[in-house]
Structure 1
Amino acid sequence: MTLPFEPILFGYEINVHLILEYLAFFLGYRYYIFLRKKTTDTIESTNRLSIILGAAIGAFLGSRIVGFLENPVWISDIFSFLNLFNTKTIMGGLFGGLLGVELAKKMIGEKQSSGDLFTFPIIVGIFIGRIGCFLSGTNEFTYGKTTTFFLGMNLGDGLKRHPIALYELLFLAVLFVFLWKLKRTNLKNGLLFQYFMIAYFGFRFCIEFIKPNTFFLAGLSSIQILCLICMLYYRKTILNLVKNAR
């Protein structure tokens, strides 16, 4: 198989990445429904729907805003305007969704933590989406710098590059297992999602150094700056982790 993987079916080129993106949303949501049925949800159904709506709106806006900052698209015609809506990143989606949830909870007066139930479905969704990123090769900005490292691969441009999507797939699999085991230790409500965000944003901060990025401020990319903002947001949890580790 060569990358990008663009199979032809009935004379039409299939966008595998787009199909896997939709599949990621569908399976992630179905997994969420499955987990909710097996879990005693302390949040009322109407409030939970409001939280999901807040997450969806926040994720949509966040993914587009941060995606634009990562790869600016200048609007010169209708096609560049439409392309602006296709410029997105999961990092902005996650953090935007987090802010959307917090805003929705303030509006409806919900004080209980709501993120734990979303944690594993989010990981599953990202995992499926990253398979699509890998199959897209250099058509998607999820490839790494050129390298002589033994894991370097030809992702479609004839050069050996870091297969960042594969690195992330491995990380997500390990993170899923780790958090699943951690879940069984009677973890305080809300911490599971916080640990996921800290771990994932920490991983992405590091992996960005081997991407052919544009570094805007202090040698950091827009994604890395967002990672630092996320770490600042969860500073109390991080400090408690450090304290307990000692």
Structure 2
Amino acid sequence: MILPAIPFPVIDPVAIAIGPFAIRWYALAYIAGILLGWKYAVWLARRRPVFFEAKLIDDLVFYATLGIVLGGRLGYVLFYNPGYYLSHPLEIFMVWQGGMSFHGGFLGVVAATALFARKVGAPMLAIGDLVAAAAPIGIFFGRIANFINGELFGRVAPDVPWAMAFPHGGPIPRHPSQLYEAALEGLLLFVVLFLLARRESIRRKPGIVIGAFFAGYGIARTICEFFREPDVQLGFILPHVTMGQILSLPMIVVGTAIILWAARRDPVVSK
């Protein structure tokens, strides 16, 4: 039985337009995620144990933003559509057209965190815990922006009562997988990391929070990929396995290893 699809709530991807100047919801989502994540990271940095001055978070936000944008874009180019961008190299810089990879942005933030830790002389894993705890905020807003844009929609779901017909997915009812990802990768993961990061005993063992983020995101993304339509230019990499799931597997393995390693270490004494 094929149930009727819920009409997609068409929202103009441009939030504000003044003449030729336009601000898209996609850009606002990144800005909201960065600003709220910044404030949350400052709050966490002031809680015991204190590894560095909270005011230095301003510099960390700058480093992390560069890592998100540069890593996210290069990751999308290399992981998801290298052939196209090899033929159209100038479009690599057109980030306003969309096309960002979480896993690429993740690697970019890891590199940015390492550079910042070296600059301020603080434990890299302690800084990584702060960034990881705040990351689901940006992920949540990013997935909502994906939904507004009608992109990264789900697989065909003829028997799901909340299925939608997306503008670029034809009249067939599909899973609103962007909302699934916002709920699991964003809200649920934020709550789990919040409960960990607020405990001083956990914070004295740097690495547990970032390990939980690695593993938690990898698990959530793997689950959501079962409902998300594979990228059209890639399809399934292996039978019933998507690129997103392949890239998430190392995150689960590494995250679990970091948690076990950090939990066995002696608590770190702050400054």
TM bin, normalised by shorter chain, reads: 0.7 to 0.9
1:143 to 153, 163, 188: 153
Hey, what's the Cα distance between the residues in 2 that align with 1:53 and 1:10?
27
Matches of 2:71 and 2:18 in 1, distance apart?
Answer: 36
CA contact (8 A) 1:75 1:81 kept: no
* Cα contact 2:72–2:108 (8 A) shared by 1: yes
Structure 2 counterpart of 1:244: none
Aligned AA (2:225): E
Q: How many angstroms apart in 2 are the aligned matches of 1:201 and 1:181?
A: 19
CA deviations on 1:120-157 (whole Å, 9 max, x unpaired) are 422222212222111211xx2x2111112233222224
The structure 1 residue matched to 2:217, chosen from 178, 200, 204, is 200
Return the alpha-carbon distance in structure 2 between the equivalents of residues 96 and 82 of structure 1.
16
Q: CA deviation at 1:58?
A: 3.5
How far apart, CA to CA, are the structure 2 residues paired with 1:101 and 1:205? Answer: 25
Q: How many residues align?
A: 239
Q: Cα RMSD over matched residues?
A: 3.6
Aligned to 1:74: 85
Residue 236 of structure 1: CA displacement? 1.8
2:6 aligned with 1:6: no
Task: Write the distance in 1 (CA, Å) between the matches of 2:38 and 2:56.
Answer: 17
Letter of the 1:114 counterpart: I
Cα distance between partner residues in 1 of 2:182 and 2:118: 35
Tell me the equivalent position of 1:181. Answer: 195
In 1, the alpha carbon distance for the partners of 2:121 and 2:45 equals: 21
- Which residues in structure 2 correspond to 1:20-169 (within 5 Å)? 20-37=29-46, 41-43=50-52, 54-68=63-77, 69-72=79-82, 73-76=84-87, 80-83=91-94, 86-102=98-114, 105=117, 110-112=122-124, 113-137=126-150, 140=151, 142-148=152-158, 149-156=160-167, 157-169=170-182
Deviations 1:150-175 (A, max 9, x none): 33222224221111111122223223
- Compute the TM-score of the two structures, normalised by the length of structure 2: 0.70
Measure how far apart 1:46 and its partner are.
Answer: 9.2
State the distance in 2 between where 1:10 and 1:87 align. Answer: 22
Q: For structure 1, list consecutive stretches of 5 or more residues without a partner in the other structure.
A: 242-246
1:199-241: CA deviation from partner (whole Å, max 9, x where unpaired): 0122112322332222335754332222122234335236679
Q: Distance in 2 between matches of 1:230 and 1:100?
A: 18
Aligned to 2:236: 215
Measured after TM superposition, the shift of residue 195 of structure 1 is 0.5
Give, in whole Å, the separation in 2 of the partners of 1:2 and 1:218: 30
Structure 2: gaps (5+ residues): 1-6, 263-271
Q: Secondary structure at the match of 2:69?
A: helix
TM-aligned CA distance change 1:56 to 1:233, over 3 Å: farther
Q: Distance in 1 between matches of 2:156 and 2:130?
A: 39
Quick check: 2:133–2:213 contact (8 Å CA) kept in 1?
A: no
In percent, how many aligned pairs have the same letter? 26
CA deviations on 1:74-128 (whole Å, 9 max, x unpaired) are 3545763443684212232123312442355467764352122223422222212
User: Which AA in structure 1 matches 2:12?
Assistant: E
| Greater mean alpha carbon deviation, residues 75-84 or residues 165-174 | 75-84
Moved more, 199-208 or 93-102: 93-102
Distance 1:20 1:219 in 2: 31
Question: Cα–Cα, structure 1 residues 61 and 174, in superposed 2: closer, same or farther, change >3 Å?
Answer: same
